[in-house]
Structure 1
Amino acid sequence: MAILKSTSPKRILLLALISSCCMLQSCMAIPTEADLKPNNNMRLVTFFAWADQKDLNKIDWSHFTDAVYEYVDVDPEDGTLVYSWPDNALSDFVNKTKSHDVHPWIAVVGKWPNSTFFPTIESSSRQLFIKNLIDFCNSYGLYGVNLDIEPISDAATFSDFIVELATSFENSNLKLSIAVESKNLNVLPYAAAYLDWIDVMAYDIYYTVGYPEHSTYEDSIQAIDLYFQGGIPKNKLLLGIPFYGRDAATGFFRYDYIANKYAPSPGANSVSEPSVPGGIIWFNGSDLVRQKTKYVIEHGYLGVAVYKAPLNIENGKSLLNSITEQLLTGTTRQGS
């Protein structure tokens, strides 16, 4: 027969205190970076350029899943990659992002009328370009390539090249993504399966003098919905959100500059500035950014891409916080 020993009141109190301390310590455990990433396999992407290199160690990388370094172009004569930053700049970026479990990408850009992208893929140097791109990515330990071609002159040619490039990447385990304009369907549905994600750049939507409200809620939702309605699965689509403002003459204003100088309220999307064309700077405020992110989550899209983290401000007016607060809530997502 077992003998039960009585426990004194002091011993009971001590055991209770120990139990309470253990529970408190568990509740106060410091979250890991994995805990700070978006829920439901969503993506949070930022772009980053050599001009931002001074901010590399200032950015809170913990919430991001992917980061895109800008940029390389290509010489159509021989498919050589062309860039102006020192080699260690990209290496430092790759090391920093990987240390925070963020996928590092390189952007191949074609933002101007004189871009060499389309002349290259339509020339005999096409295969050399692909080989050089693979070698470049492997040498730096990059996760993949982001094609940022503006404008897309031929969606079918572009889509065919996406399929070819992604297929060529398979042996190197490289990924492919694209950033696209928001007014037209720039990629065809059959190519979407070959892409990791598609950033619908829902800013500078009407990039003309006299239209400074370049990224309203309505225009942004219409932009991402355009791609879904055009046959692109929601689980491939990111909504692009700007961390900058515009005036009536398309002047560019960093969000951290706006926040520091004008201290706008969370609901404000413009500030008065008599010295700029039109007298107003238009931007995305905290509430608007939160509303856009909420739409992305509730409608089953893949996530958000920001342009760009170095333009943010790390205080109570942080746009990044407005996004991550939504992405971490675990809001129920619709099917894609």
Structure 2
Amino acid sequence: MSLMPLEKRGITGSRLVLGCMGFAGDWDTGVIEKGELLEAERGLDTALESGITMFDHADIYKRGKAEEVFGKCLNNRAGLREKIIIQSKCGIRFADTENPGRYDFSKNHILGAVDGILGRLGTDYLDILLLHRPDPLMEPEEVAEAFSTLMESGKVRNFGVSNMNVAQMKLLQAYIGSPLVVNQMEMSLKKLDWLDQGVHVNQPAGLGTNFAEGLIEHCMLETIQLQAWAPLAKGIYSGKEDFMSAAEKETAELVARMAEEKETTKESIVLGWLMRHPANIQPVIGTTNPGRIQNCQDAPRQAKLMTREEWYKLYISSRSKRLP
């Protein structure tokens, strides 16, 4: 496999990313409990032991508590900050007494959000800042001013987006002076529209596929790292026991057989399938459970070992119908 887009840009993160949305317990505004700190420390240490050196945050996760507890973990580990890659996101604002939930890419909000993120994490800089969800009122000139200020001050070293299509990225890129290095989208063995969009070209089925057309190819051409959120599809193929459709059950059984044959974990098969794609997709696993983190660590190897036929078996099983 070729180098990841981030590696081509000199950003040496791990092949897997630990998503930190689950850190710090409940979605409340209370203080961080001792148990929540211990859980975060176990998750962080397990990730590092598993070779994960890149961590994904957002200013809204647990209303800021996720970043705060991660910052406390960093503070207890001298010298760790320089050995890891931290990215966070901004742009989503919760509803309050006067306003609805909304998106905000204004210069003042971006600058204020970054200051808050850095304060909670206890660090002087972010390796990557992502704009969380597209803001219909985005003025690219204003975003460019914010990015320039953050870059010149050393508070942010790289920029990216999340959940954006090609046109939105091109518009933004036309105004900012630095390249967008990441786009984070929901992609998994369960959520297949990112693949079906291409397979259904010139097919009636394409009329019902809703994904950002050309996004995968655009990111590959422009050396933009595609990151996948919810890459394990909430564990549906790796042990979740909720109600499953016939196709989901069949795919889960296939994943289990492949894991047994390859002497690996089901999580590594599911992630390895995603990472086998030529775009070098980078999964963001969202768990604080040490066992589940460990179960993911063989995914990069499984991606290299997975044959074309094995990849297609999983794809066709999950989509539950033959290719056109």
TM range, normalised to the smaller chain? 0.5 to 0.7
- Tell me which amino acid in the other structure corresponds to 1:60: L
Retained in 1: the 8 A contact 2:59–2:113? no
- Greater CA radius of gyration, 1 or 2? 1
TM-superposed deviation, 1:325: 5.2
- Give the distance between the partners of 1:109 and 1:233, measured in 2 at CA: 26
- Tell me which amino acid in the other structure corresponds to 1:203: M
Query: 1:168 maps to which residue?
Result: 149
Query: How is 1:19-98 mapped onto 2 (pairs within 5 angstroms)?
Result: 43=13, 44=15, 45-49=17-21, 50-51=23-24, 53=40, 55-60=43-48, 63-72=51-60, 83-84=64-65, 87=68, 89-93=70-74, 98=80
Which structure 2 segments of 5+ residues have no match?
Answer: 1-5, 25-38, 200-210, 255-265, 307-324
Query: 1:321 maps to which residue?
Result: 298
Which structure has more relative contact order (CA 8 Å, sep 6+)? It is: 2
- Name the SS for the 1:60 alignment partner: helix
Q: TM-score if structure 1 supplies the norm length?
A: 0.52
TM-superposed deviation, 1:187: 2.1
Query: 1:103 maps to which residue?
Result: 85
- Give the distance between the partners of 1:286 and 1:145, measured in 2 at CA: 26
CA RMSD between the two structures? 4.8
Retained in 2: the 8 A contact 1:47–1:306? yes
Question: Percentage identity across aligned positions?
Answer: 7
Write 1 or 2 for the structure with the bigger share of helix.
2
Q: Which residue of the other structure, out of 141, 147, 154, is the alignment partner of 2:130?
A: 147
- Tell me which amino acid in the other structure corresponds to 1:172: S
- Give the distance between the partners of 1:240 and 1:213, measured in 2 at CA: 12
Query: 2:33 maps to which residue?
Result: none
Query: How is 1:127-276 mapped onto 2 (pairs within 5 angstroms)?
Result: 127=108, 130=111, 133-134=114-115, 137=118, 140-150=123-133, 152-154=134-136, 157=138, 159-173=140-154, 174-181=156-163, 185-188=167-170, 189-190=173-174, 194-195=178-179, 197-203=181-187, 213-215=190-192, 218-219=195-196, 226-227=214-215, 229=217, 233-240=221-228, 242-245=230-233, 252-253=234-235, 257-258=239-240, 269-270=251-252
- Tell me which amino acid in the other structure corresponds to 1:226: G
Superposed CA offset, 1:69-116 (max 9, x none): 23248xxxxxxxx73458454231476593682112333252878445
Superposed CA offset, 1:234-287 (max 9, x none): 412223153443xxxxxx55776539xx9xxxx974369xxxxxxxxxxx9644
- Give the distance between the partners of 1:61 and 1:220, measured in 2 at CA: 37
Query: How is 1:283-298 mapped onto 2 (pairs within 5 angstroms)?
Result: 286-296=268-278
- Counterparts in 2 of 1:236 and 1:61: CA distance versus 1, 3 Å: farther
